[in-house]
Every structure is written in structure tokens, then in C-alpha cells.
Structure 1
Amino acid sequence: MEEAFGYSVEVLKRLVSIPTVAPQGDHYEEAAELLARELESMGFEVAVERVPAEYQREKCRHASENPRFIVYGRRGEGGPALHFNGHYDVVPGGPGWTVTEPFKPVVKDGKLYGRGAIDMKGGIAAALGAFKALQLSGAWPQGLRLEAAFVPDEEIGGECGTGYLVNGMGVTPEYVILPEPSGLEKPWHGHRGILWMKVRVKGRTAHASTPWHGRNAFLLASAIALDLQQALAAMYAGRRSKYRIEPEESARPTVSLGGEAGVTGGGKTNQVPGEFYFTVDRRLIPEETVAQARGELVGVLTWLSVKHGAEVEAEEVISAEPAINEPGELYEALREAARQSGRVIGQPVVCPGGLDMWYYTVKGSKALAYGPRGELAHAPDEHIDLVELRFLVEAFARLPLTLAGALQRRT
């Protein structure tokens, strides 16, 4: 186990040093090649699939023109598949780092620092470390196929990552583990959905010295945004998910306005803005659908356009359905693997954010997300505690064996 853990740390350092920033994707191929080599070295049959350019243009509007690569590995024949999914793309490094630079990994005080150390190259390294432990021990599971999929673009919706893996390549495993930063106390068995929209409010441009000749789109958009917030808050007040979502506030639908906002095409101090935009971030509880949320937003905006006498347009930017599943034997096997590795885990809860899980659950896969603490995901000085990484390597190495044993007992 110690050799496998050391391998995991070294792989994580190499992964963090590759700046696989979404949506640019400048170094995706380099990361994909590294991951494919590691899987092949442990006896996996590996395919590196380039997402077709036509699919990328049609489905992945927020991706750059750089190619997208999916690494898919299989080991073993017959039986159901236990499939580990990890995304190798990361958010930009950003300012504010004090321990190291974002893509120069450093180990300090028992922690490995660098962008993606938690979200989620650390999870990928834990899975690879688990495979290494199985290889070193020779204890590969019987009656269970092992799979790994390492994908891009989760940070921008996943259409050119897990979306293409499932819908384009037809990969629909029976059991899925996503080593996302859930925290080690309990796994996630679902996640909230997401709908991003861009709202444009049109006025009339004029010179600022004669503002009566124009109609200020900024002021119109501000009034519409305030009314929209109030109308949606009233609409969502009576809704609460029956599922356990942590933190508790996430059990209700939420909306956030104005994460991005500005004068379309850029403004000037001496000009009355003729068009202003703002964004809407709507999070869905598992009982809702994207179509429902979209219809509600468009309906309220249509009413507000009449109320304020303004032309209003709404464009969908990103959407993903909520996910929920009852993982049954997968959870029981994970709980037993964690117990054997020295930790007791609680009942699954729903993730307040979004994941790639929904691509699998709509196809019938049983899925759990389980990984390190995630407080510093996307933040300066992102790091993973190496004690947690070692635990995950061991727990993930035991999981195929506990799941195979559970399936054999059922038959």
C-alpha cells in the first residue's frame, strides 16, 4: 500500500503540473497521453478517443477549438463493470496563491498544493493508486470488470467529456465512482441541476449630454433584475426537496443574478447604454427539470418585459439535469471498503453543486461521488491532505473486492 500511495503522489504532481484549464484546453492531449500510459502500464486495454470536431462545434459551445480527448480503459472480461470517472480539466489558477504557483505542485506540511489537487486530479491519482495497489498485490477482482474514464470539460458542463463518453461512445457501466471532493464523511448519491442564462435588456443609445434622447438599458435591466429576484423567490418559497442535501439551505431551489453583467459591446462614460446584460445561475433540486426551470424563467421575463415596456431576450448558456439514484450494493461495498481502511462513513447525501453523475444515472447506472474535502476547490492554495489521499487509495483498492464479494453473495 505504501508503494501504491507513493506512486499516487508522484502521478498527482505530474498531473497538477499540466495546466489543463477549461475552456481553452491547450494541454488536454498531454494529460490524456500521460493517463493512457499509466493505465496501460497496469494492464488496462486503453483507447484515447478524440471527440469529433462536428460534435464539438454542435454540442460544446463553450469549448475552444482545441481538440478534446477521452481516455477510456478496461481490465477484465465479463461480469458487471465498476467504473471510475475523473475529469482532468481545471479552472484557471487565478491570483492570491501564497504557498506556490498554481501549476507548480509543492508538498508542504503533509499537503500537496496546486490547482486541481482536490478538484479533481487528486481523485484521479487516488484511482490510479488503487489500481497500482491491485497490480502489486495481484488481487484483481473476480467476476467484476474494472474501467476508468478520464475526461475533459466537466468545469463547463461535460458535453465534450462524460457526455460524449456515454452518448457518443456508448459507455454505460453498471456501477460508477466519481472521486469528486465530497469529503470523507459521506458520499454523494446525487446532485442539484443547473441552468445558466444570459438576459439582454434593450433600451436606446444616446449621448450622455442629452440623455432624454435615449433609454438607459442599465436602469431598465436593474429594475427587471430586482423584480425577477423577488418573483422567483416567491415562486420557490414553497419548494423543498425530500432528499437530504447538505448544506440544508440547498434543499430549496436557488437563483443568483449578475455573476456577469455589463454593457453589450462595451460602454463609455459619456454614452447612455443601449443594451445591458446580466446572467442568471439557477440551481435545481432533484424533483425539478431543466425544462421546468427554463419555462419559469422565460415566463417571468416575458411578464416583466411587458411591465417595463422593454425588449428582453434570454439565451441559455449551460444546463444539466439534477441526478438522484439509490446506489444500494455500491454504497454498501464502499462503506465496507472504508471500514476496512479505518473509517466509518455515513448515509449518502445530495451534492449542492453539479457533477457529471447525471450522464450516467439517466442511463441506469448506480453511481456515487466520494473524495477528499473540497473547501478549497477553485480557490488559491488549493491542496489535498496526503492522509486523505492515502485513505482513498486504500479504500478504492478494496472497493472492487468488496463489491465483487457482495455481488457473488447475491447470486
Structure 2
Amino acid sequence: MASVVELLSRLVEVESVNDPSASRYVGVSEGEEVRRILKEHTGLDMELVENEGVPILLYMTGSGRPVTLFMAHFDVVPPGHGWRVTEPFKPLVLEGRLYGRGAADDKSNVAAISLALSGFEPARGTVVAAFTGDEEIGGGRGAGWLAERLRSEGLWPDYVVNGDGSMGAVITRRRNAFNAVVRVKRESGEAEGVSRSVKKLGLRVRGRPTRHAAYFIPGVDTHPLLEAAALVREAGLLASSLSGEWVKSNVLPGSVELEALEPGGDGSGVYDAGLTALLASLIPLSRITPTGLLYSDYGVTATPNVYRLEGGWHEVVVDVRAMTGDRSVVEEAVARSLEESLGSRVEWEYRVEGGGGYLYTPRSAELVRLALAINTSLGLPGEPREAAGASDSRYFSPRGSQAIDYGPLGGNIHGPDEYVYIGHLEVAVEFYRRLASTIHG
């Protein structure tokens, strides 16, 4: 049997990239290549299933209850630029780290789970392993489809061990993700006693060095669009136009440029009353408090990350993170905020999208207690953690499965020179092996 480093190196070489912006998606050929590598290096003979073009690898052993699902994903985000240590798909071992795209997220867990389950036969219950090819683009046709298949076959998992963490900790909470789309109609206005002003504002992240919206910490990090909104709302600027480094709804803009009229001058000018009202509304909108939420270390965050002007309407997409599966409570909170801040002064509309699910498993749950005990015995954190971003656990946790996320310690996830610590990678194999043995004997 190959070492976990050898196996992971082979997996990193597979260019299983999902990149919607380039119409590039992981398909059956990448799934077959991963299946072949796993069989060659671990002996696991996994079934390759295609669902709407998405490859899913499945393996089952044993029968009856309990049912434990070990899950990970083999798709990766685009490599991007700025790699220095190695090329994205040329794995390199250097100073205790293995570098390459997917080395941490998430082929490390594919390798660790595969080796942990190789040759394992449960004394009781059923063990399911599943590796999907669409987590980075939502997971609906992979893990979402898998959830329905297991339910239809009477194999709904009692326990879900999702290998999609990178902290070497047992993750028991992740918030749900929603998009609030707010549109305000363009409306021209004129002002006297003003001067023209251009404000160039940049993102400043003090916490985790990432632009992922889930990790934004209000009061610590500085969001450039919210800073522009504060200038409009508190300093009285009248917005004329807005531009920025927009990427997508869950990525914080790197910079924003606001052209506006500033009070206190001796000139006159034309501004956009619709854009001004929209910007001013973003401050209260970023502080909404939906009701009936489960506990989260991060509370609720709402970050406006995309702006566009289309068909005479200004539109902002706000990434909302909250520990709830009820979209209506988010809709109600957004509506209350907009009614107070916009009222009837301008023409506006909104909608709330998304909300695929969340991860929330109490510390008292059997799976959490077992996982924490094993982690402690391996010299790793013995306290449960909450992670900021979403994962495929959301397709199981709200529907009754005890679920955790787990994974070896790594860094530069979704960035250049992604890596995993080899020592933690080897420990992850042992974690999964012990957990399977403890549950299934």
C-alpha cells in the first residue's frame, strides 16, 4: 500500500478544476482518473456514478445500522497566479509540507479517508465512502444527490464525517449562506454648495488573511464598500458613480472607487439619488438580526460584495451568513431594514436567494464525543470548533445526521502555494481509521 504522501501527490497531479468563469468543469474523465489512482494505491474499488455531468465515487461495506458516511471532494478551485514554490499541479514535498492545488482542500482528505478505510470491514453497521466532484461550485449535484440516494435506499447516515476541514480540529458548526439582492432605480438629482470628490478605498483584513466573505469580522476588518456607504450615510456625500474590484458574491472586493459630491464647496453638480440611497442603506443592512437563530461564534455577517448597474437599476448582492435553515427569517430581517432605510423615497426591490443548509451538531452528540476523544489521544485539539465557510455537511446536518467536518492542518487554501503539513496528514489517516473502528468495531 502506498504512503499517504505518495497517494496525495498522485491526486494533486489530476487537474480536476471547476471554474465556471471559464466554463470549465470536472467531468467523468477526471472522476475515472481519481478512481483508478485510489484503486491502484489503496485497493478500494469505488463505483463511479455520473449525475448531471458531475462524477461521484462511491464505496460501501457492511450492513445494517449504524450507517457512517465518510465524505470528501476531489474538485479544486482554479490555480490562479502567484505560485512560487511549485506549479499548481506539480506536487512538491519541502520542509515538512506538500505543496500543490488541492493539497489541503481537499485531496488531502480523499487520500486520508481512502487509506483509513482500505481493508476495513465493519463488525457491525455500514460504512459508506463518497468523494464528489462539485463541492467548490455548490455540491448540489454531488453531495446533494448523494443525500437523496442514501435516503431512498434506506441508508440515511446516522453519522457524517466530512473530510473538509484544515485545522486539525473537530468542526461542529458552519453557518448557512444566503444572498440578498437589493435593487434601487437610478434617479438623477442636483445639489448646490458642493465639490466633486473621488474616494479610493481598499480592503483591510486584520484577521484571517483571506477575501472569503465568511471570514469577515465586523469591527476588525474594513470592507471598502461599507466604508463608502459610511461616507454617504454619515458624512453626507452624494454618490455619482461606483466602481470596484468585484469578483463574486462570497468574495470581498479588494477595492472600491466612489465618485461623489461632497458638502462644503461652492459649486453645483448632478448626482444619483438612487445610488446614494442604496449606499446609505448598506450600513443598517450589514447589521441585520434575523430571529430564531442557533448559536454561532461568528453571529450574523452581511457583506455587500458585488455591485452592478443594469437597465437603469443599481444592484448590490449581499452575502449573508446566519445559523438557520429558515430563509424567511432572513427575508424578514432584510425587508425590515430596507423599509426603514429606503421607505418610499426611491423605487426599490429585493429578493433573498440560497440557503442550502448549515452544520450544527451539539457537543453532547455521540459522534462529537468520540471524535474529540480520538483527537485528544492524537495530541490535537480536544475542543470543538466552528468554521466560517460552508461545506457539504449542510446536506445532512439539518436533516438529522450527527455530522462533523475534519481535516489536516494546511495553508494558503484557494491561494497560491497551497500546502498541507505532512505530519498532520499522517495523523488524519489515523483519526479516520480510529473513528471507523470505534463506531463499527
TM-score in terms of structure 1 length: 0.76
Q: Offset of 1:394 from its aligned partner?
A: 1.7
**Aligned mates of 1:116, 1:278 — CA distance in 2:** 32
Q: Where do 5+ consecutive residues of structure 2 fail to align? A: 189-238, 243-271
Say if 1:144 and 1:400, in contact at 8 Å, map to a contact too: no
Aligned residue in 1 for 2:165: 181
Say if 2:373 and 2:382, in contact at 8 Å, map to a contact too: no
Aligned residue in 1 for 2:289: 236
Aligned residue in 2 for 1:227: 281
Is the alpha carbon distance of 1:31 and 1:256 closer, same or farther for their aligned partners in structure 2, counting shifts above 3 Å? same
Aligned residue in 2 for 1:172: 156
**Aligned mates of 1:88, 1:222 — CA distance in 2:** 44
Aligned residue in 2 for 1:200: 183
> Secondary structure, in 3 states, of the residue corresponding to 1:76?
strand
**Aligned mates of 1:39, 1:104 — CA distance in 2:** 18
1:146 aligns with 2:127: yes
Match of 1:91 among 77, 81, 85: 77
1:13 aligns with 2:12: no
Q: Offset of 1:182 from its aligned partner?
A: 4.3
1:264 aligns with 2:310: yes
Is the alpha carbon distance of 1:81 and 1:298 closer, same or farther for their aligned partners in structure 2, counting shifts above 3 Å? same
**Aligned mates of 1:311, 1:144 — CA distance in 2:** 55
> Secondary structure, in 3 states, of the residue corresponding to 2:396?
helix
Q: Offset of 1:193 from its aligned partner?
A: 1.0
1:338 aligns with 2:375: yes
**Aligned mates of 1:43, 1:380 — CA distance in 2:** 32
Map of 1:81-120 to 2, 5 A cutoff? 81-120=67-106
1:297 aligns with 2:328: no
Is the alpha carbon distance of 1:302 and 1:151 closer, same or farther for their aligned partners in structure 2, counting shifts above 3 Å? farther
Q: Offset of 1:375 from its aligned partner?
A: 4.3
**Aligned mates of 2:133, 2:416 — CA distance in 1:** 22
Say if 1:240 and 1:253, in contact at 8 Å, map to a contact too: no
> Secondary structure, in 3 states, of the residue corresponding to 2:355?
strand
> Secondary structure, in 3 states, of the residue corresponding to 1:278?
strand
AA matched with 2:144 = G
AA matched with 2:183 = R
Match of 1:370 among 377, 391, 406: 406
**Aligned mates of 2:276, 2:77 — CA distance in 1:** 30
Map of 1:30-109 to 2, 5 A cutoff? 30-37=29-36, 46-52=46-52, 67-109=53-95
Say if 1:18 and 1:27, in contact at 8 Å, map to a contact too: no
Is the alpha carbon distance of 1:99 and 1:45 closer, same or farther for their aligned partners in structure 2, counting shifts above 3 Å? closer
Say if 2:109 and 2:407, in contact at 8 Å, map to a contact too: yes
AA matched with 1:49 = V
Q: Where do 5+ consecutive residues of structure 1 fail to align? A: 53-66, 206-214, 266-273, 406-411
Is the alpha carbon distance of 1:33 and 1:372 closer, same or farther for their aligned partners in structure 2, counting shifts above 3 Å? same
Map of 1:286-325 to 2, 5 A cutoff? 286=324, 289-302=326-339, 304-314=341-351, 316=353, 318-325=354-361
Is the alpha carbon distance of 1:28 and 1:313 closer, same or farther for their aligned partners in structure 2, counting shifts above 3 Å? same
**Aligned mates of 1:346, 1:140 — CA distance in 2:** 28
Q: Offset of 1:99 from its aligned partner?
A: 0.9
Is the alpha carbon distance of 1:300 and 1:389 closer, same or farther for their aligned partners in structure 2, counting shifts above 3 Å? same
Is the alpha carbon distance of 1:162 and 1:168 closer, same or farther for their aligned partners in structure 2, counting shifts above 3 Å? same
**Aligned mates of 1:155, 1:11 — CA distance in 2:** 22
1:216-256, CA deviations, whole angstroms, 9 ceiling, x for partnerless residues? 675423531332322442x439998645x3xxxx1x21111
Q: Offset of 1:44 from its aligned partner?
A: 5.2
Aligned residue in 2 for 1:329: 366
Q: Offset of 1:159 from its aligned partner?
A: 1.3
Aligned residue in 1 for 2:248: none
Map of 1:126-141 to 2, 5 A cutoff? 126-132=112-118, 135=119, 140-141=121-122
**Aligned mates of 2:290, 2:182 — CA distance in 1:** 23
Where do 4+ consecutive residues of structure 1 move more than 6 Å? Answer: 237-240
> Secondary structure, in 3 states, of the residue corresponding to 1:236?
coil
Q: How many residues align?
A: 354
Say if 2:117 and 2:433, in contact at 8 Å, map to a contact too: yes
Task: Give the alignment's Cα RMSD to 1 decimal.
Answer: 3.0
AA matched with 1:196 = N
AA matched with 1:395 = F
Is the alpha carbon distance of 1:143 and 1:241 closer, same or farther for their aligned partners in structure 2, counting shifts above 3 Å? closer
1:122 aligns with 2:108: yes
1:284 aligns with 2:322: yes
> Secondary structure, in 3 states, of the residue corresponding to 1:167?
helix
Q: Offset of 1:161 from its aligned partner?
A: 1.6
Is the alpha carbon distance of 1:298 and 1:68 closer, same or farther for their aligned partners in structure 2, counting shifts above 3 Å? farther
**Aligned mates of 1:74, 1:187 — CA distance in 2:** 24
Q: Offset of 1:400 from its aligned partner?
A: 1.3
> Secondary structure, in 3 states, of the residue corresponding to 2:79?
coil
1:152-201, CA deviations, whole angstroms, 9 ceiling, x for partnerless residues? 322232211211111255352111111122412x3111211110233333
Q: Offset of 1:292 from its aligned partner?
A: 1.0
1:266-301, CA deviations, whole angstroms, 9 ceiling, x for partnerless residues? xxxxxxxx3332220101035x73221133224433
Is the alpha carbon distance of 1:174 and 1:36 closer, same or farther for their aligned partners in structure 2, counting shifts above 3 Å? farther
**Aligned mates of 2:332, 2:148 — CA distance in 1:** 26
Aligned residue in 2 for 1:269: none
- Which protein has the bigger strand share? 2
Q: Offset of 1:33 from its aligned partner?
A: 1.2
